[in-house]
Amino acid sequence: MSWRIVVISSSAKLDYQLGFLVVRKDITTRIHINDISILMIETTAVSITAALLNELVKNKIKVIFCDEKRNPSSELIPYYGSHDTSIKVRKQTQWSIDDKKNIWTAVVGEKIRKQAEFLNELGKVESDMLLNYLEEMEYGDTTNREGHAAKVYFNALFGLQFTRSEDNPINAALNYGYSIILSAVNREIVSNGYITQIGLFHDNMFNPYNLGSDLMEPFRILVDRKVYHMKPQIFEHGEKIDMVNLLNEEIYIDGRKEVINNAIKIYCKSIFDALDEKDISLIKFYRNEL
């Protein structure tokens, strides 16, 4: 099972030789392709061969490209992630409104539950308000309890003056972490034969990752937790590496301990099983402890 997250943060030439990613700098480094889960190109001063890109795609390795400010800006997604992609996409376009609402209600409910659990761990009284929102939530979250919960939650974590639109190190860290989680979720969507554009709830014509935006919701709290404890005064290279390494931290899912990267794989597969069987009890949500 692949496990290594490789970050290229300075000028380099990347190519492929005999099963290895070859990183050519002052010193040449060779990393076996089968060990790599995610490759992040953090700088624009990198050249990469088409042969390597082809091998990365064939091995279902998520490749994330960053812009000139070293923030994730795009990712490499294959046309076909599974041998039965055509039938999977056909199924995806035929998911009923009821099936999508059932899954979305379960997913967003779990997100609010995890937000409440985190606030409770911190001794924040607002956790009770979030649990009330959870009890009030209707089918499909038609009354937007998620939005109300988010405002209370972020104000409880970072102060009443905090807004998600503000330009500061906390929001930079949150956005960076969310983009890493989204990318990992997108990888699993494509690996399972589905496409990221057609979502359950998100339906923005300008968002190529509507389904990823849906499925990642419960995992956002892992980013929030890390940023809260990090308390970043700046958000630069060292802090970004810490955020990327979040995927190697451990949580519990399906009765066992897994790194977050693998937990996302298990969770996404369970979502598709739940959609196929029309049974939300098949969804496997993670836990911070057993």
Block means of pLDDT (10 residues each) for the chain, 290 residues, are: 83 95 95 92 95 92 90 84 87 94 97 98 97 94 94 96 94 96 94 94 91 97 97 93 92 95 96 95 91
pLDDT at position 84: 86
The CB density around residue 158, as the number of other CB atoms within 10 Å, is 20
Task: Kindly state the tokens that stand for 269.
Answer: 């597969």
pLDDT at position 138: 93
- Domains by residue range for the chain, with CATH: 4-76 (3.100.10.20), 85-282 (1.20.120.920)
pLDDT at position 290: 63
Task: Determine how β-strand 28-32 pairs with β-strand 46-48.
Answer: unpaired
Closest CA to 98 of 282, 266, 279: 279
Give the position of tokens 């929102």.
Answer: 133
Q: State the DSSP string of 85-128.
A: HHHHHHHHHT--HHHHHHHHHHHHHHHHHHHHHHHHHTT-THHH
Please, which residues have CB within 8 angstroms of residue 269's CB and are 6 or more apart in sequence? 188, 192
What 3-state class would DSSP assign to 39? strand
Contact predicate 251/262, CB 8 Å: no
The type of residue at 18 is L
The CB density around residue 256, as the number of other CB atoms within 10 Å, is 10
pLDDT at position 289: 79
pLDDT at position 77: 81
